[in-house]
Structure 1
C-alpha cells in the first residue's frame, strides 16, 4: 500500500513542486525585466487568481471524490457521468469568469487595493490572465481526473511540460519581445494550453474509463459535487483573503514597495502550499476508491500516510 501511495503522491507532489518553482521564475523575470511595479501589480491580482484555482480545485476534488467512489463500487457509468457533468460546469464557469474579468478589469483591481500607479499594470495583467480561464481551469481539473483514472504519471508530465513552456515563453515575451506585464499572463495561459493538450487525448481516445460524451446536468449531482468540494474552495478562498487584506494594509502603510516585497514572500509560501496540496491530491483517488469499495482499512492507511507525509514536508520547509 505504501508503494501504491507513493505511486500517486510522489508524481502529484513533484508536479506541484515544479509548477511552484515556475512562480519564483515568473517573479525573477518580472522583477528584472519590468521592475518592482510589475511584482506589485501581479500581487494585487494574486487573490483573484487563487480564487480561480480554488474554483477548479473545488469542482475537481468534489467530482473526483465521487468518480473514484463509484469506480470503487464498480459503478463505472455513474463515475463517467459525473466527469462529463463536471466538464460542462467548468466550461460554463470559465466563460463567465473570463467575461467578467476582461470587461471589469479596472474596477476590480481598484477594489483589490491597487494604487493609481499600479492600476494600469494590474488591470492589464488581469485582463490577459482571464482570457485563458478556460484552458487554465480545465487543465487543473483534468490533471486531477487523470489521477482518478489511474494515470498519475501522465498528470505529472502534462504539468511539467506546461510549466517548462511557461518559463520559455516568459523569457521570450519579456526579454526578447518586450511585451511588458501581459507577457507573464499570456505565457501562463499558453503553458496551461500545453498542459491541457497533453491531458486531452487520454479522454478523447478513451485510454481509460473516463471519456467525453453527451450528458445532461443533474441538479442532485451538481449539489453533491459542490458539497464535497466546498471545503477545498474555502481553504483557497481563505488564502486569497489573507493576501488581499495584507495588500490593503501594506499599500496604506508602506506603499507600493511593500506590496512588491510581499509578492516575493508569497512566491515562497505558495510553493510550500502547492507541494502539500500535491500530496493530498495524490492521495484523494486512493482514499475515495477504497471508500466506494467499502474497504475502510485501506482507506485509513492512505489517509494516515498522507497526513504523515504532509507533516514531514512541513517540518522540512
Structure 2
C-alpha cells in the first residue's frame, strides 16, 4: 500500500522542501506571534516588569517542553529512516516509546519544578522588583507543561509521517486560542499576570487535544498498548539522537539563566526585559529559516535511509540556498525597523504611574541597538542550522551533538561570561554575532567534509 511518507523519496526536492517548510514556517510564525502578542499584552497592560518576569520563568518551561521536542526530533529521525526502509513495525514501536518517555520524564520534571519553585525563581535571576509576578506565572504554567511536552513530541512525529499541514494546525490552534484568552483574561477581566498564565495553560490543553485527535483518527501509525512498553534497544536509539536536541535546548536554558543573572548584576530589570523582547524577536524573525530547517530533516532522513544520497546532497544545497535568502531579508528588516518593533511592547496609556513611564522610556532607549547587535550575523547562521540538522537526520549522534552545541555551549556562554567584565551589558549583546560567525565556520567545515565522504552513490 502506498503511504503518504513514500513521496519523501520520489517527489522533487524543491517541491518537497516547500511542502514541508511552508506549513512548518506558518506554524512557527503563528506560535511565535502568540509569544510576541503574549509579551506585548503583558508589556502594555501589566508593565515592563511583567516581561522581566516571564523572561526568568522561560528556562524551566523551555527545558521541560524541550524534553518533548528532543524525543520528538530524535525519535522521528529513527522513525523517518524506518519508514524509508519500509519497516512499519519498528516505526510503531518508536512512536509508542516516544510517547511513554515524554510523559514520564516531563511529568517528573514538572513535579520537581513545583516543589522547588521558590528556589528556582531566585536561581533563574528574579529580583525583588518582579519576583511575585514571576512566581504567579511560573506556578500556573507548570501545571500544563506536560501537555506542551507531549505536543512538541507529537508535532515532530506528524511531520515525519509526511503530513506537515496537520503539524502546522497543531501549532496554530493553541496560538490563536492563547491570543484570544489573553485579551479576555488580562484586558477584559483584569486578572493581570494570573490571567496571562491561565491563557497559556489553556493554549497547551488545546494543542494537546488536537494532537490526540490526529493520532486517533488521521495518523498512519495505529498504536496498540504493546507499543507503549519501553524497549531498551528502541529507547537507546531514540535517546542517542534525542540527546542532541536536548543538549542544545538544555544549553539554551542554561544560557538564558546565565544571561538573566549577568544582566541583573551588570545592569538592571530593564535589561532583562530588553533580552525578553530580543529572545521573542529571535524566535519570531527567524521563523522561515527554522521552517526550512524542520522541513529539511524528514527529507534528508528518509532519503538517507533509502540510500538515495544524491537526493540528500540536493536537499542540503537547496535548503542552504532558500534559508540563506530568507536570513538576508530578515537581517535587513531588523536593521531598518528595530525601533518600531520594540515600541509595540511599550504602553502609551494615559494615567500610568511615574515609575512605569520611566521604565517604558528606558526600555525603548536601550533595546533597539541591542537587537541590531544580536542579529548582526544572521545571514551566515543557516549553514550552522542545516549542518547540525543533517548529522541528526542521518543518525550521526556525536557530530550532531557537538555541532548543535557549538554556538551556545562552546562559544556564546564563555563570551557572555567574559565580555561583560570589560564592556558591561554591551558585552552581552556583541557576544551573539561573534558566536554566530565562529560556530558557522566550524559547522561549515565539518558539513563539507561529511558530504564529500558519505554522500557518494
Please, what TM-score do these two structures have when normalized by structure 2? Answer: 0.66
Q: Which residue of 2 aligns with 1:238?
A: 251
Which residue in the other structure is 1:80 paired with? 92
1:170 to 165, 182, 189: 182
For 2:223 and 2:286, how far apart are their aligned partners in 1?
32
The change in CA–CA distance for 1:54 and 1:274 in structure 2 (over 3 A counts) is: farther
Cα–Cα, structure 1 residues 233 and 272, in superposed 2: closer, same or farther, change >3 Å?
Answer: farther
- For 1:97 and 1:316, the matched residues in 2 are separated by 39
Between the aligned partners of 1:101 and 1:182, the Cα distance in structure 2 is 18
1:249 to partner: Cα distance: 1.6
Q: Which residue of 2 aligns with 1:204?
A: 216
Pick closer, same or farther for the CA change 1:125–1:289 going to 2, 3 Å.
same
Specify which of 38, 63, 68 is matched with residue 75 of structure 2: 63
> Structure 1 pair 55/274, CA: closer, same or farther in 2 (3 Å)?
farther
Match of residue 268, structure 1, among 281, 286, 301: 281
Q: Would the aligned equivalents of 2:64 and 2:110 in 1 still touch at CA under 8 Å?
A: no
Work out whether 1:9 is the aligned partner of 2:58.
no
Contact 2:107 2:146 in 1 (8 A): yes
Aligned residue number for residue 140 of structure 2: 128
Partner of 1:294: 307
Larger radius of gyration: 2
> Which residues in structure 2 correspond to 1:1-317 (within 5 Å)?
1=12, 2-205=14-217, 207-214=218-225, 215=227, 216-317=229-330
The structure-2 alpha-carbon separation of the partners of 1:99 and 1:31, relative to structure 1 and needing over 3 Å to count, comes to: same
Structure 2 segments unaligned to the other structure (5+ residues): 1-11, 331-457
Aligned 8 A contact 1:106 1:119 in 2? no
Unaligned runs of 5+ in 1: none
Structure-2 change in CA distance of 1:25 and 1:181 (3 Å): same
Tell me which moved more, 107-116 or 215-224. 215-224
Write the distance in 2 (CA, Å) between the matches of 1:307 and 1:237: 26
Q: Distance in 2 between matches of 1:283 and 1:87?
A: 23
Moved more, 69-78 or 192-201: 192-201
Q: Deviations over 1:163-193 (max 9, x none)?
A: 1001000111111122221322321221122
CA distance in 2, matches of 1:107, 1:298: 50
Per chain length, whose mean CA-contact separation is higher, i.e. which structure has more relative contact order (CA < 8 Å, sep 6+)?
Answer: 1
Between the aligned partners of 1:188 and 1:294, the Cα distance in structure 2 is: 43
Q: Distance in 1 between matches of 2:325 and 2:300?
A: 20
CA apart distance, 1:292: 1.7
In 2: Cα distance, 1:278 partner to 1:141 partner? 16
1:176-222: CA deviations, max 9, x gaps?
Answer: 122221322321221122222223222113x3321332132012211
CA gap 1:254/1:197 in 2 versus in 1, 3 angstroms: same
Q: What is the total number of aligned residue pairs between the two structures?
A: 316
What's the TM-score once normalised by structure 1's chain length? Answer: 0.94
Query: Following superposition, which runs of at least 4 residues in structure 1 exceed 4 angstroms of deviation?
Result: none
Alpha-carbon shift at residue 49 of structure 1 (Å) = 2.5
**After alignment, is 42-51 or 236-245 more displaced?**
236-245
